[in-house]
């Protein structure tokens, strides 16, 4: 059974594969779920929630930092099972109502997740009547919390913040593991890094969002990827990270972002040449030729 780990007062953390979900609230009281993990993981989240909050317990709401497949993958079955609303930023709604697909990921940006992004979906989800727009200065079901727009990784990306003890749930505004590195992705070694680079579609907005989060001087940081951090020097580390934040050297959205509005994608920069599919195809053809030649040689010997 998956166990929720307490990382701050009233804040629980549940890692599912390489992505995190969070629970805000005390056992016996109202609570909410922040993000909903990968597709097919609803039962794991349900079991963990019942272990923490009791059999049959359901949240006041599900709040999404954004709607990418690894953060909203199990949101619909959870919303149906619990019969609760789902909240997201207004600019995220086109991708959660089937109105628009997300800008496609950029596999040419380089790194581990860039390679894997060739095999991950970017299509819209349709939550129909379940999804609602976040109201200003209000996190439904979580008094004392506020949300702030932190776009860049997605058009309507938000982070949640509790000023009383400076806890931030930053989604994919940044990460506490290096997802551009294979070793960082596999080991989960703690560091401050860019989050899921191939899905960032506005690098300048991402940089500014990190700077805004650094200004909050958080004592606790829970991100969508990586082990949450509560180091005494976290505010200084995050400020230093924000000052040194750099976009990748090349990539589809590095010099020109995707343009979006309340209806979804407006325009995209041209897709750069991606040599990997061609190299893979060439390797498979060569392997097939070599195997075929070996088979013919065997037949001749016979």
List, for residues 261-281, the tens digit of each pLDDT value. 999 999 999 998 887 663 443
Q: What's the Rg (C-alpha) of the chain? A: 21
Residue 94 has pLDDT above 60, yes or no: yes
pLDDT digits (tens, 9 = 90+) for 29-63: 999 999 999 999 999 999 999 999 999 999 999 99
pLDDT the model gives residue 123: 75
Is 187 exposed, middle or buried, given 0-12, 13-18 or 19+ CB atoms closer than 10 A? exposed
pLDDT the model gives residue 138: 93
CB 40 within 8 A of CB 31: no
pLDDT digits (tens, 9 = 90+) for 118-152: 988 777 788 988 999 999 989 999 999 999 999 99
Domain topology for 5-271: Metallo-beta-lactamase; Chain A (3.60.15)
Can you tell me the distance from the alpha carbon of 268 to that of 289, in angstroms, rounded to the nearest whole number?
A: 39
CB 108 within 8 A of CB 251: yes
Can you tell me the distance from the alpha carbon of 225 to that of 19, in angstroms, rounded to the nearest whole number?
A: 5
CB-CB neighbours of 282 under 10 Å: 11
Can you tell me the distance from the alpha carbon of 101 to that of 103, in angstroms, rounded to the nearest whole number?
A: 7
What residue ranges do the domains of the chain occupy?
5-271, 278-302
Which residue has 């095999």 as its token pair? 119
Report the percent of the chain where pLDDT is more than 70.
91
pLDDT the model gives residue 290: 41
Phi, psi for residue 108 in degrees, rounded to 5? -85, 0
Over range 222-234, report the average pLDDT. Answer: 96
Structure tokens at 25: 């609230």
Over range 195-221, report the average pLDDT. Answer: 97
DSSP 97: B
pLDDT digits (tens, 9 = 90+) for 149-187: 999 999 999 999 999 999 999 999 999 999 999 999 999
């Amino acid at each position: 059974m998956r166990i929720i780990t307490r990382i701050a007062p009233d804040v629980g953390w549940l890692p599912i594969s390489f992505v995190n979900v969070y629970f805000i609230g005390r056992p016996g009281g109202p609570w909410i779920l922040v993000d909903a993990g990968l597709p097919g993981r609803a039962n794991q989240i349900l079991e963990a929630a019942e272990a923490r909050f009791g059999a049959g317990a359901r949240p006041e709401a599900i709040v999404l930092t954004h709607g990418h497949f690894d953060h909203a993958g199990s949101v619909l079955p959870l919303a149906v099972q619990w019969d609760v609303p789902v909240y997201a930023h207004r600019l995220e709604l086109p991708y959660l109502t089937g109105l628009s697909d997300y800008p496609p990921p950029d596999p040419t940006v380089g790194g581990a997740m860039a390679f894997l992004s060739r095999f991950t979906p970017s299509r819209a989800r349709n939550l129909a009547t379940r999804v609602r727009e976040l109201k200003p200065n209000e996190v439904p079901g979580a008094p004392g919390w506020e949300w702030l727009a932190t776009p860049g990784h997605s058009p309507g990306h938000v982070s949640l913040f509790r000023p009383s003890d400076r806890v931030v749930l930053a989604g994919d505004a940044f990460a506490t593991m290096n997802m551009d590195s294979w070793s960082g992705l596999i080991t989960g070694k703690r560091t401050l890094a860019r989050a899921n680079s191939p899905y960032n579609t506005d690098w300048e907005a991402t940089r500014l969002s990190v700077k805004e989060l650094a200004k909050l001087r958080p004592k606790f940081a829970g991100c969508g990827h990586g082990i949450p951090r509560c180091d005494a020097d976290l505010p200084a580390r995050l400020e230093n990270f924000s000052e040194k934040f750099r976009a990748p050297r090349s990539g589809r959205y590095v010099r020109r972002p995707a343009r979006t509005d309340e209806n979804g994608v407006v325009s995209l920069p041209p897709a750069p040449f991606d040599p990997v599919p061609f190299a893979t195809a060439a390797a498979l053809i060569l392997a097939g030729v070599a195997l075929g030649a070996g088979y013919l040689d065997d037949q001749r010997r016979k």
